[in-house]
């Protein structure tokens, strides 16, 4: 990235995306994002995807400024987003240093590099205004699908990175994290893909009711141990509006 | 064009206060779309049902059409607290005049009563209303009272944050001698279009028709038939074609 002489930008995000919800299931990860670009509070462009397939094992979903993500992706493309990166959790090797929560072995860095760039930009008051959710499947042993483990990593705007089993970002962080965790606790790692997707759809309903900039058209992408990355088809949800029948005067 | 993000603007004034979280909090405002049209014999008003505080929807099924008398309603937009208070106070005054004079207060006079408060307290209030109703003197009337307190009678108007998205649509649809059914269709479609684009408007569509027999209220829910339909174009791919995409 041509860093130092860059114009100051993105202290005010303009075209933004809202929540990302991700959940691990038995053999992979499902990620849900809606498909609207918000310009302030206006739904300016529809049918825009916020999920990006990096390679066969890794899917990135983002919330926050669209231009920042695409700019970041363009300039990082050659170096980081190619090849067959597999992500290893650094916790295996260096257990306590959470700032280096992800790393890769071999010639492809992914989340590690993103974290470092984020911290650098943030300190320069030139942040990349995105919250990234990195979803992937790790292979414990080469080519052995049985031992693959799903992986969700979150990277905030300022470069704070951590690994989770389920996450909701944006306004979803306030609305959904508990709901998703409740569902997760019922079955934990034994969730099937259909169960996980049902949890995500239910969560989207909540954001639809309480997030001004959420949209009812969405996509669910997944990373699966056997199928690799499968991007989602566009779907629509309407919700339950029977509450409107009983409102009387003001509320 | 500089788009000042609500969050950064608020950050300048916000202080962290242990008991409250952050103060001042984002104001609870009815972001809103209000549409009102006169037809021969009465008025049709339509609203959305979303009340928001910043990006958070505090109420998704609000009723913004507030009846004042049997033949008049006020549609509220702006600060939710301000408009509720003004509606209560104006309603009280209108009731008193109705009782002491023993005949219904005209819509024109009611709009002036609203104006009395909205203008005299204009610096302290953030309220923008539409007063709509029917009386025997002038028939169906719509009076728009935006922020500041200026009153003007309109044949067809929109108010609230969603109004900017549909002013052009309303302009293109209006013509003299619209029937009730045509008006209802236009108002409903306008609210639907505004809701489609405005983040501060959403939820259900509430409609009211006021004529000499009184007021009739209708509700259109997204999960039931009758909700205004917006045809969306078939999308293009988000990423270039060499990146795998599923539509």
CB-based contact A134:A87 (threshold 8 Å): yes
Distance CA A221, CA B37 (A): 45
pLDDT (tens digit, 9 = 90+) per residue, B152-188?
Answer: 999 999 999 899 899 999 999 999 999 999 999 999 9
Q: Which residues of B touch A227 (CB under 8 A)?
A: none
CB-based contact A125:A11 (threshold 8 Å): yes
Q: How far is CA B187 from the centre of its chain?
A: 12
pLDDT (tens digit, 9 = 90+) per residue, A32-57?
Answer: 999 999 988 888 888 889 998 877 78
Q: Which CA distances in Å does B12 have to B5, B9, B24?
A: 12, 6, 10
Give the residue numbers of B annotated as catalytic, written as ranges. Answer: 32
Burial of B173-199, coded b for 16+ CB within 10 Å and e otherwise, reads: beeeebebeebbebbbbbbbbbbbbbb
A8 touches chain B (CB under 8 A): no
Distance CA A152, CA A171 (A): 19
Partner residue facing A251 (CB), from B59, B196, B219: B59
A242 touches chain B (CB under 8 A): yes
Please report which helix (H) or strand (E) contains residue B207, including its range. Answer: strand B205-211
Work out the average pLDDT over B235-247. Answer: 71
Q: Residue A30, exposed/middle/buried by CB under 10 A (0-12, 13-18, 19+)?
A: buried
For the ranges A106-115, A157-166, A183-192, B61-70, the one whose mean pLDDT is highest: B61-70
pLDDT at residue number B191:
96
With an 8 Å Cβ cutoff, are B66 and A209 in contact?
no
B57 touches chain A (CB under 8 A): yes
Q: What domains, with CATH codes, occur in chain A?
A: 3-246 (3.60.20.10)
With an 8 Å Cβ cutoff, are B5 and A49 in contact?
no
Residue whose C-alpha is closest to residue B152's, from B170, B131, B166: B131
Partner residue facing A240 (CB), from B197, B223, B232: B223
With an 8 Å Cβ cutoff, are A171 and B60 in contact?
no
Residue whose C-alpha is closest to residue A208's, from A15, A21, A16: A21
Work out the average pLDDT over B27-41. Answer: 84
pTM of the entire structure?
Answer: 0.80
Q: Which residues of A touch B219 (CB under 8 A)?
A: 244-245
| Distance (Å) from the alpha carbon of B181 to chain A's nearest alpha carbon | 23
Distance CA A135, CA A113 (A): 16
A210 touches chain B (CB under 8 A): yes
With an 8 Å Cβ cutoff, are A250 and B84 in contact?
yes
Q: Residue A54, exposed/middle/buried by CB under 10 A (0-12, 13-18, 19+)?
A: buried
Bridge partners of residue A134, in order along the sequence: A60, A153
pLDDT at residue number A3:
47
Using only C-alpha atoms, chain A has a radius of gyration, in whole angstroms, of 18
Say how many Å lie between the first and final Cα of chain A, rounded: 51
Burial of B35-51, coded b for 16+ CB within 10 Å and e otherwise, reads: bbbbbebbbbbbbbbbb
Output the six-digit token pair for A108.
Answer: 């492809």
The lowest-confidence range among A115-119, A125-129, B84-88 is: A115-119
Distance CA A63, CA A236 (A): 19
Q: Which residues of B touch A209 (CB under 8 A)?
A: 57, 60
pLDDT (tens digit, 9 = 90+) per residue, A196-250?
Answer: 999 999 899 989 999 999 998 999 999 998 888 888 888 999 999 998 888 666 6
Distance CA B160, CA B142 (A): 15
Choose from B57, B91, B232 for mutation: most chain A CBs within 10 A: B57
A171 touches chain B (CB under 8 A): yes
For the ranges B22-26, B216-220, B229-233, the one whose mean pLDDT is highest: B216-220
pLDDT at residue number A95:
30
pLDDT at residue number A163:
85
pLDDT (tens digit, 9 = 90+) per residue, A126-173?
Answer: 677 888 898 888 766 555 556 678 888 888 887 788 888 999 998 888
DSSP B214: E
Partner residue facing B197 (CB), from A42, A241, A250: A42
Work out the average pLDDT over B105-109. Answer: 95
Q: Which of B31 and A116 is assigned the larger pLDDT?
A: B31
Nearest CA in chain B to A248: B63
pLDDT at residue number B103:
92
């Amino acid at each position: 990235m041509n860093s130092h002489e860059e114009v100051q930008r993105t202290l005010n995000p303009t075209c933004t995306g809202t929540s990302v919800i991700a959940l691990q299931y038995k053999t992979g990860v499902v990620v849900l994002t809606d498909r609207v670009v918000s310009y302030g509070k206006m739904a300016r462009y529809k049918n825009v995807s916020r999920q990006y397939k990096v390679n066969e094992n890794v899917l990135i979903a983002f919330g926050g400024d669209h231009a920042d993500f695409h700019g970041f992706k363009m300039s990082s493309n050659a170096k980081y987003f190619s090849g067959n990166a597999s992500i290893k959790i650094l916790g295996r090797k260096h257990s306590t240093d959470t700032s280096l929560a992800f790393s890769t072995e071999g010639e492809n860095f992914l989340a590690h590099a993103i974290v470092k760039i984020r911290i650098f930009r943030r300190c320069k008051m030139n942040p990349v205004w995105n919250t990234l959710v990195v979803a992937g499947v790790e292979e414990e042993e080469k080519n052995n699908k049985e031992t693959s483990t799903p992986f969700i990593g979150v990277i905030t705007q300022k470069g704070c990175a951590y690994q989770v089993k389920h996450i909701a970002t944006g306004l979803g962080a306030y609305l959904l994290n508990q709901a998703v965790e409740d569902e997760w606790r019922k079955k934990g790692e034994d969730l099937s893909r259909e169960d996980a997707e049902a949890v995500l759809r239910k969560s989207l309903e909540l954001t639809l009711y309480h997030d001004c900039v959420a949209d009812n058209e969405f996509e669910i992408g997944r990373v699966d141990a056997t199928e690799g990355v499968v991007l989602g088809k566009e779907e629509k949800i309407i919700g339950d509006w029977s509450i409107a029948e009983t409102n009387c005067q003001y509320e | 064009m500089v788009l000042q993000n609500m969050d950064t603007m608020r950050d300048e004034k916000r202080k962290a206060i242990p008991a409250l979280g952050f103060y001042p909090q984002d104001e609870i405002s009815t972001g809103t779309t209000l549409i009102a049209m006169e037809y021969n014999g009465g008025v049709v008003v339509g609203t959305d049902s979303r009340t928001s505080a910043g990006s958070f929807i505090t109420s998704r099924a609000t009723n913004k059409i507030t009846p004042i008398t049997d033949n008049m309603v006020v549609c509220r937009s702006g600060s939710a607290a301000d408009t509720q208070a003004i509606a209560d106070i104006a309603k009280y005054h209108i009731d008193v005049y109705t009782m002491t004079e023993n005949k219904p207060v005209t819509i024109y006079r009611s709009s002036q009563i609203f104006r009395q408060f909205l203008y005299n307290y204009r610096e302290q209030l953030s309220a923008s209303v539409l007063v709509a109703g029917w009386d025997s003197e002038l028939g169906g009337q719509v009076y728009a009272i935006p922020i500041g307190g200026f009153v003007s009678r309109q044949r067809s108007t929109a108010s609230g944050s969603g109004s900017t998205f549909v002013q052009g649509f309303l302009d293109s649809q209006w013509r003299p001698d619209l029937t009730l059914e045509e008006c209802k269709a236009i108002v409903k479609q306008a609210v639907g279009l505004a809701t489609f684009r405005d983040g501060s408007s959403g939820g259900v569509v509430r409609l009211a028709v006021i004529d000499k027999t009184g007021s009739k209220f209708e509700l259109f829910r997204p999960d039931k038939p009758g909700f205004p339909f917006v045809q969306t174009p078939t999308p293009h791919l988000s990423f270039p074609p060499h990146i795998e995409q599923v539509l």
